[in-house]
Each structure stands twice: as structure tokens, then as C-alpha cells.
Structure 1
Amino acid sequence: MRALLQARLERLDARLRVAVVGRVCQGKSTLVNALIGERLTPTGTLELSFSVNHLRYGTDPGLTVHFTDPTRPPLPTSLADLEKFAARREDNADLLRSIEYLDVVSDRPYLAGFDLIDTAGLDSPWIEDSAKTLDFLKKSRDQVAAATLEATTSADALLVVMGRGGQSQTDDEMLRAFLGPRTGAASPVTTIGVLTKVEEMWRDHPDPFVGARMLRDDMFRSPAVRAVLFEIQPVCGRLAETAAGLDEADLEDIRTLAKVSAEDLERSVKSAAVFQRTDRGLPLDPARRDALRGRFTPFGLMTACCLIRDGVGTVDELRTRLEEVSGIRVLRDRLTDHFAHRSHLIKARITGEALRRQARGLRAGLTAPDAEALDTALETVETALRDEPGLDELDLLQRLVSGELRLGPDDREDVLHLVGEYGRSAAARLRLADTAAPADLAARARDLHDRWLGHLNAGRYRGSAHVVVARCANLLRAVAAARALLEDPDSADSRRRLR
């Protein structure tokens, strides 16, 4: 128990570790690159990466290769060598088999909030890929269905990458394998689904995100999906990755293509064979057109041309707009709002659950004095956890998204905002503009407090209303303190608060 506590203590001070998991060829590595804003993992024809990649923030970018042979020291090298050590190539199979994992350091600011773990596909036709992923998480291939990872499993939270076909049986097994050990059951609070390759839906929908949202809504009608996923965010992964690497040459070529009428361009770009033909009167060399189509995807290239026609004039402007269209910015914000600022809460809850499991396993073989010592130690931790209101809010959030707690649409949105799902400022929690005056904040907090106190007194939302009332009371105190400081800074009360 002491060893477990020490290990968990060290984890509490580390950045949250978010594993990106999914079946092969679903765009995991493309999504990682898009999130970071830099091509750090092999994609495309090299997407079947052989090793697990740890990606973390640092001011000195670089790559360190860790080997399975414990006597072989880690090899520090340049990020320029990443493809050599990460991508499947027949000429270096022995080298790839010797790698345990890659430690990739990037100075991209988005990684400052938490580390990402880019895993190999769990149903790869090459056994080594799946074994590497599972072994990294202390799991053998034969144990996937059992969903019993060790308490010290490496990932704290998950991004589950799914293709436009939605969630498959393989995805279900994967979720049980990754989620089971941390909570004893699948936990939606620590898991977000990402529907990638949304751009491919353009064939069937003028707006591919409409089709993606329809698929997402259909998936969430299943209680089994609600039990394991907090939400599903649609993303055009390839477009987002390409936008991050946009340059002046791309901009000039897109400007040239944008001179073609929208109708003619759309008819041509949807077919690779037609887009390469020389008799269509399209500008640029056919090979260059084909390369742009492959990188941007037909939907992305058509979108980029439309943005140019609408007046976008610089690389930075086009990159920003394409990132917005791709959905990657929304996903980044959601990961930051949902994961980053809850890092300590998530890890504290995992710690409590790990200690309880450990205690249950030990108790049967203990003498009375040892059992008493165990209970005393466990109660110390339990008391600390009970005194943390954020954990109550985390549990409330899980009951809400799993469907265990059913609220009306307005009450549901109030709760999501109050617990900080869309920002931690008083205004964000109260569903008001950032410019809201203190008096407006106070009035809104009082209204919510009284309404939810009414729910509590009436016995509605049993086991949940008191958590919302406590959060509203906290906001009322904070707003009152802010008003005292802002409106009468020389008062005795303000001086006391400042002290």
C-alpha cells in the first residue's frame, strides 16, 4: 500500500497522460499531428507505426528512443529521425522490433496542458503492433476481453478514434480493455470519442458535419455508448493536419484553382481520375493537382478555394479558417476544458479507486492489527477525497453523461456550465458573457442557487441537487467578495479580504 501511494503521489504531480487509441487506419496519428499543429508522427502510407509514441511539451525539442533490452541505453536523437524509428519499413524491421517506446518532445504550446500517447492499432494484421500497444498498458493480447489492467496503467484518460462507420465490436473490446482497470467500469468522464475522416462524408452530404452529427446522435441512443464515452467530436483530421503545414506555395496554387468556377471545380475534384485529366481545362500540372487533392482531401480543397473567393488572403488567415472548418479547434478547446483543468481531480479519483482495490485484495490475509492499520491508512485518504468538492462534481458529471441522471435540456446545460465544462470563470459557469457586470453575476448565481435549492428540498435529482447548490453557493461567495473589492475597495471588509 505504501508503494502504491508513493507511485500515485508521483503521478499526481505529473501532467495528465491522454492515450489516443483506436483500430488501425482510423487516422490516430493524423489526429495527433492535427492536435499538436505539427507533423510529429508518421501518417499516410506509413501510418502503421510500429512503436508507441509519448509526446510531451518541452522547450528543447528532440527524440529519445527506448529499447526493450534493459541493458541498452536510451538513444537521444533529432526529431528529423522520427520516421526512421516510428514507421514500418522492411529495411529496418529488426530495429523496429527492438524499440520499447519513443519519447518525443515538442515546444508546441498545445502540449503544455497534458501529454499525448499515440498508440499502435489494436487490431493490426501485424501481431507486433497490437502487442506493443497492449504491453505498454501492461496488458497481454489474451486479456483484452477481461478488461483488467494494472492500477498503474500508463494512461489517465482516452481519446477513442473512430472512423465514419462509427463504433464497432472491436472498439467496444478496446474500450473495455483500456477503461476497465481505472474505474472498475467504463468511465465516460475520462473518455472522449473522435469521429475522424469526416471529410469523406462530403460524397453524401453537402455539409459533411451534418452527416457526422447524425451518426453521433445515432450512436448516443445506445446506453452502452453513453456508458463509456463523454461525447463524440467530429473532425476532418487530414484537413486539420494539412492546415498546420500550409505554406506560400500552397496558397498560390489554391488561388489559381479558385479561379475555376465552383460548379466546375466541384464536379472535377470529387473524382481523382477526372481531376488529373488534361482535357478539363483545369490550371496547374496534373501531378500537382493530385498532390493537393490528396493532402487537403476533395472537401478540404474545395473549402480552401471557397475561402479564397471570400477574401482570405494570407497563409495565416487560411490556416486559421481551415482549422475552424475542420473541427480541430473545437476538439482542442474541449480537451483543455474537459481534461486539462481536471487533471488533479481525475488522478485523485483514480488513486482512490486503486487503493480500494488494493485494500480489498489484501484484507483477507491480514491479522487484526494489520487490518486495523490498513483501515486507518485508507480512511485518511478517503477523508481527503470526501473533503474535495470537485470530486463530487466529477461524479455528478459522470452520472449526467452516462444517462444515470436525467435532466431537462436547460437544467442539463446549467449543470455542465456550473461544473466548468465550458470554462472555469464565474461568467462561463453562469452562462453569461465575459463582460457581465458583478451585479449580473450575483443575480444569476442567486437565481440558480434558489432554483436548485428548490429541487433539493422537493427531493428532485436525489444525490445530485446538493452538489449543484454547493457550487452555486461557492459562486455567490466569490462574486460577493469580488463586488466588495471592486465597488468599495477602502471598506474594512475589503481590506480584510485583501489581507
Structure 2
Amino acid sequence: MTADGDRPAGPLSASVADLCTRLRGQVGPRTAAGFTEVLRRLEAPLQVAVAGRIKSGKSTLVNALIGRRVAPTAVGECTRLVTRFQYGTVDRIEIVFTDGTRQVQPFAPDGGIPAELGVDIDRVSHIEAYLTNAVLRDMTVIDTPGLGSLDSSSVARTQQLLGATRLSGSLDSGESESSEGSRDTGDGAASPTGSEEPDTLDDTSRGALVGAEAVLYVVTQGVRSDDHQALAAFTAATASREPGPVNAVAVLNKADTIPPESVEGADGDVWKAATLLARKQAAVLRPRVADVLPVIGLLAESTETGAFTPTEAEALRTLAALDDADLEVMLVSADIFTTWDCDVPSGVRVRLLEKLDLFGIRHAIEAIRTEPQITVGALHRRLLDVSGLEAVRARLAEVFAARADGIKAAAALASITALAHDSGDRAERQRVHDAIEMLLARPEAHQLRVLEALTLVTSGAVELAEDLAEEVLRVGSNADVSAQLGMPGATPDQLAAHALERAGWWRSFASFGATPGQARVAHVVHRAYFLLWQRLKAQGTGSGHVPPAQQGAGR
């Protein structure tokens, strides 16, 4: 169920969709049913899962990204389930059961998903929440149960969404996953006798529908082994070739809780400590993620969703008028803040803590003292600025939005390959394999090679000089041609000339002096520039003619 008018994200996704359509009549009923789900996914917005360990603040961050307090943050039934937040013309909730049936429910009076659903939770596959929020037109946000929970069924649901269950079966054997695996994930409908109807979707087929294509992974102060395992499973399941940081970004949440004295070089500054720690975590998590960014999810949620009210802003003004000594004592701890004798009622101070914590309260008071006439709206913006949310959104746009066509196509190809392997029909496998190889030879498929090059460079598997590494990142991370070429405002002729010059440089680098790994990346970047030059020339002259001396250069 996608928004009206949805189309594949770009030319490569459209080519994969055409491949699925052509192959549906050449494969068995079950594989064809899986291809139908892949087609639905290709027509939908990018599917971004917010995942991480239990109590890492995932749902709070989901609310901040959506701009509405809709995901439950307290422990309850819904926090044990995968919830997909997607665009819809009418706000509603659909409970999807493991047998494929659905039950529609309204949102709770407070605008969120009800804490209790009134159904047998063990029969629920996942929840689909439809919202009229514009941000969801381009990105479906998937809230997941926390990894590391004592509730094994909840963890299994997250692992399946991230692709872990796809790795558990033997692709070479052609055997599908067991019915026990289906029951463990809570997302299968496999018959224990194995006598399913031919068009019943198995786990792999269902994964093509509810699985994620990109992940925003939430960590706190420590990165653990299961974080690595979850990210490894996700990247392996969603990359058509080599897995890497092309569709995964991590955030260091609860950045305000990091003791600055615990991070060398922080100089007593909490945000600087969080930034330095995030850089260290980025090094630890590579090549699984593109970056780790600090964020204060609670502060972001309170400001973006309107939870922080004008009444509470006035309470902060009263606190700002207190004596410096009294205020400093109050801000030492939460207990002192709520019990200290002052004109702001204790209940109001409790609410301030729940929405801003001490870090946000301190920053708000500093802003009021610096600018006594500051409006509530301006105070909101100040708090949003220090939450780090805007930097996260910008990075998501850079890593995900610009690459959505390639990311969705890569994930779809991975699903198509898995479906063919799981069919158990060697002829069917070969037919699908040959069709994919033909697709990968097309010009629009080169972006998959570019994503591979990004993986090799950003992970450190291939070392390049800093300026060359930045050039690879620029070419692969942007959708706009002038941004890809690093020449904003340039004319088409200037862009074309620069693209051809850089294509020649990278070709020479690949042939002379590059290591084998560098040469591999250089050939990819060379062809990326060459294809850009072809496109610019075609747009400028109305002709796609390529001079004979260059015709073989891009191959």
C-alpha cells in the first residue's frame, strides 16, 4: 500500500522492475509471488529501519524524524513489534497478522499507537501505521524491537527485518528455511507439513515486502558484538554485490549523558566529548556504516513534535531569573532539580526533565539569559540546533536520498537472487542469474559499481589519497551532476569538459601506478565520469554520439 502515483526511485529501479515483470511468467508460482512483492517494494519510498539495542532510544528518534509522538517509547506490546510508518491519505493503523489478514484500528487519543492492541500478540507479524506527514512521502520509517532484549521473539523480528534470517539458510542447497524459523520470527505462515499452497509467501518472499533497504543504527556509549552482527547481516542481505556503508548510518544517541572527563580532548565540553566518541565509534563500526553522528533524541523529539509547550518555556524564564548559585546547585542532578525550593512547581520541573533533561534545561536557560526577549519559537530552534537532529537529517539525505535508486535496486536484486535460490529449481536459478547479468551490463546499472567503490574506499579496504577519496565520495553520494563534479553553477559545456578530463585522469591512474585495489576503484570512477560526459553531451547537442576514440573507454 503505497502513496498514489508512486514510481520506482530511478532508472535502475525501473529496470529491475521490468526484469521482475518479465520473469514472473518464467518462474514457479511461489517465486512469482515473491517477485510481485519485490515490485511493490520498488514502487514504494525507501524503507529505512531504525534499529539498535534495547533502551537505546530508537522510538524517541523515530518520533523526532517523523515530527510526531506516534511511536511508543514506554515498554509495552507495541515495542515488541516491528512498526512501519508510511505515508497515507488517512491516519490509521493496520495490524498485520502472520496469516496475512489485517485489522484496522484508530490511533490512541494522544495521537500515538495504542500501548495495548487487544489482540493475540503472538499472531501479529507487524504493524503498518499510515500518516499524512509529508516526510513519509520519500521515506518509510521502520521502528524495530531492541536487540539484546530478554524477549527472544522480539529480537527475532528485528533480526529478520535486518536480514539475519536470510543468511541462516543454505543458498547453494536451494532449500527454503524451516517452518520453525518462520514461527520464531513471528512473520511466517509456513505449514508444518510443508504442504503450502504454491502461491503462499515463504519467509524470503515476505522479507521482500517488510524488510529494510537502509538502516539508521542507534548506539549509546558502547558498541557491542551484537551491533556488529546485526549490521553485518543487514548489509549482506541488502547488497547485490559487496556489503558496505552505502545504506547504513549510525547515531550516538543520548549524547548529553557522556561524561566529558571520560573522553580525551573533550576539555570539559559534553558535545565535544560526544563528537569525539562518535568518531571513534565510526572507526570501530567501519565498514558497516557510512558515519556515526551524535544526537540527543529526547531533545529532538520534544522540539520537533511540539511536546515542549509555551507554559514550560515560561517556567524556564522563571528559572533563568534565579540566583546563579541556586541554579548551579539545582542543575547538579535530577533529584535536586525537582526537590529544590523555588517558585516553579515541582510537577512542572518533572515535566521539563522528561522532555529536555538537564542538558536541554541548561541550554534553554542560557539562551534566555543571553536573549531575554527570545520567543518560544526561537527557543525551540535553539534546542533543536543543540540536539544534533539536523545534522542527522542532512547525512541521511546525503547517504540515502541521493542513492535511493541504487539502494532500492541493490536490495531488490538481492531479494530476487534469494527467491530464485530458494526455489530449488536449477533452471529457474540460471534463468534469473542470466537476466540479472544482462541488466548489470546496462549503463544505468553502473551506479551499483559506484556503490561498491564507495564501500571499498570508505571502509579503508582500498586506500587513496585524501583528495581522491573525497572525489570518489562526491561522485557517488550526489544525484545532482554539478554536485557530483564539484562545480556548482557551471555551464553544461564546462561540466562536460571537466567530466571528460577527470575520466581521462582516472583511466591513466588505473593503468599507471595504481595498486590492484586502487585500479578497481579507478576504473569504476572513470566510467562514472565518462557516462556523465555522455549524458551532458547528449543534453547539450541532442545527440548521444560518442567520438570513436572514446567508445571503448567506458567498458
Gaps of 5+ in 2: 1-26, 166-180, 186-202, 546-555
Task: Kindly indicate whether residue 335 of structure 2 is the aligned counterpart of residue 248 of structure 1.
Answer: no
Task: Give me the whole-angstrom Cα distance separating, in 2, the residues matched to 1:93 and 1:66.
Answer: 13
Deviation per CA, 1:330-373: give whole Å up to 9, x if none: 1112222222342332232233334445555668x65xxxx4x7
Task: Kindly indicate whether residue 231 of structure 2 is the aligned counterpart of residue 175 of structure 1.
Answer: yes
What aligned pairs does 1:290-309 form with structure 2 within 5 A after superposition? 290-309=350-369
Deviation at 1:262, TM superposition (A): 6.6
Task: Kindly indicate whether residue 218 of structure 2 is the aligned counterpart of residue 161 of structure 1.
Answer: yes
Deviation at 1:133, TM superposition (A): 3.6
Deviation at 1:389, TM superposition (A): 1.9
Deviation at 1:59, TM superposition (A): 3.1
What aligned pairs does 1:95-494 form with structure 2 within 5 A after superposition? 96-134=121-159, 139=165, 140=181, 150=204, 153=207, 154-165=211-222, 167-183=223-239, 186-201=243-258, 204=261, 206-222=268-284, 225-244=285-304, 245=306, 246-260=308-322, 265-279=327-341, 282-311=342-371, 313-357=374-418, 366=426, 371=427, 375-387=430-442, 388-419=445-476, 421=477, 423-432=478-487, 434-435=488-489, 445=499, 448-460=502-514, 461-476=518-533, 493=541
Q: Secondary structure at the match of 1:350?
A: helix
Deviation per CA, 1:68-111: give whole Å up to 9, x if none: 5666x512323537756346xxxx78654554322212222222
Task: Give me the whole-angstrom Cα distance separating, in 1, the residues matched to 2:225 and 2:182.
Answer: 16
Letter of the 2:362 partner, please give it: M
Deviation per CA, 1:440-475: give whole Å up to 9, x if none: 756765664454344234252211112222333444
Instruction: Report if aligned partners of 1:53, 1:103 keep a CA contact under 8 Å in 2.
Output: yes
Letter of the 1:64 partner, please give it: E
Deviation at 1:19, TM superposition (A): 1.5
State TM-score, norm by structure 1: 0.80
Residue number in structure 2 paired with 1:61: 91
Deviation per CA, 1:176-233: give whole Å up to 9, x if none: 44444334875322222121111112564543332223223323444xx213222212
Letter of the 1:106 partner, please give it: L
Letter of the 1:150 partner, please give it: T
Q: Secondary structure at the match of 1:405?
A: coil
Residue number in structure 2 paired with 1:489: none
Instruction: Report if aligned partners of 1:269, 1:293 keep a CA contact under 8 Å in 2.
Output: no
Residues 476 and 283 of structure 1, relative CA distance in 2, 3 Å threshold: farther
Residue number in structure 2 paired with 1:31: 61
Residues 48 and 60 of structure 1, relative CA distance in 2, 3 Å threshold: closer
Task: Give me the whole-angstrom Cα distance separating, in 2, the residues matched to 1:77 and 1:440.
Answer: 55
Deviation at 1:30, TM superposition (A): 0.5
Task: Give me the whole-angstrom Cα distance separating, in 2, the residues matched to 1:479 and 1:136.
Answer: 40
Residues 168 and 441 of structure 1, relative CA distance in 2, 3 Å threshold: same
Letter of the 2:301 partner, please give it: E
- Computed over aligned residues only, the root mean square deviation of the Cα atoms, in angstroms, reads 3.6
Deviation per CA, 1:150-181: give whole Å up to 9, x if none: 3652222222211122x112323333444443
Task: Give me the whole-angstrom Cα distance separating, in 1, the residues matched to 2:36 and 2:408.
Answer: 13
Deviation per CA, 1:279-301: give whole Å up to 9, x if none: 4xx54223312321231011112
Task: Give me the whole-angstrom Cα distance separating, in 2, the residues matched to 1:496 and 1:131.
Answer: 51
Q: Which has the higher contact order (CA 8 A, sep 6+)?
A: 2
Task: Give me the whole-angstrom Cα distance separating, in 1, the residues matched to 2:322 and 2:505.
Answer: 58
Letter of the 1:238 partner, please give it: L
Residues 48 and 74 of structure 1, relative CA distance in 2, 3 Å threshold: closer
Residues 86 and 343 of structure 1, relative CA distance in 2, 3 Å threshold: farther
Task: Give me the whole-angstrom Cα distance separating, in 2, the residues matched to 1:259 and 1:441.
Answer: 58
Instruction: Report if aligned partners of 1:25, 1:47 keep a CA contact under 8 Å in 2.
Output: no
Instruction: Report if aligned partners of 2:507, 2:523 keep a CA contact under 8 Å in 1.
Output: yes
Letter of the 2:224 partner, please give it: S
Letter of the 1:426 partner, please give it: V
Residues 104 and 213 of structure 1, relative CA distance in 2, 3 Å threshold: same
What aligned pairs does 1:10-21 form with structure 2 within 5 A after superposition? 10-21=40-51
Instruction: Report if aligned partners of 1:163, 1:197 keep a CA contact under 8 Å in 2.
Output: yes
Q: How many residues align?
A: 465
Residues 454 and 304 of structure 1, relative CA distance in 2, 3 Å threshold: farther
Letter of the 1:254 partner, please give it: L
Residues 263 and 411 of structure 1, relative CA distance in 2, 3 Å threshold: farther
Task: Give me the whole-angstrom Cα distance separating, in 1, the residues matched to 2:80 and 2:129.
Answer: 15
Deviation per CA, 1:347-404: give whole Å up to 9, x if none: 32233334445555668x65xxxx4x75455323221122122112111111122222
Residues 38 and 324 of structure 1, relative CA distance in 2, 3 Å threshold: same
Residue number in structure 2 paired with 1:490: none
Residues 45 and 65 of structure 1, relative CA distance in 2, 3 Å threshold: closer
Q: Secondary structure at the match of 1:25?
A: coil
Residues 52 and 352 of structure 1, relative CA distance in 2, 3 Å threshold: closer
Residue number in structure 1 paired with 2:13: none
Instruction: Report if aligned partners of 1:25, 1:48 keep a CA contact under 8 Å in 2.
Output: no
Task: Give me the whole-angstrom Cα distance separating, in 1, the residues matched to 2:386 and 2:147.
Answer: 30
Deviation at 1:55, TM superposition (A): 0.3
Letter of the 2:311 partner, please give it: A
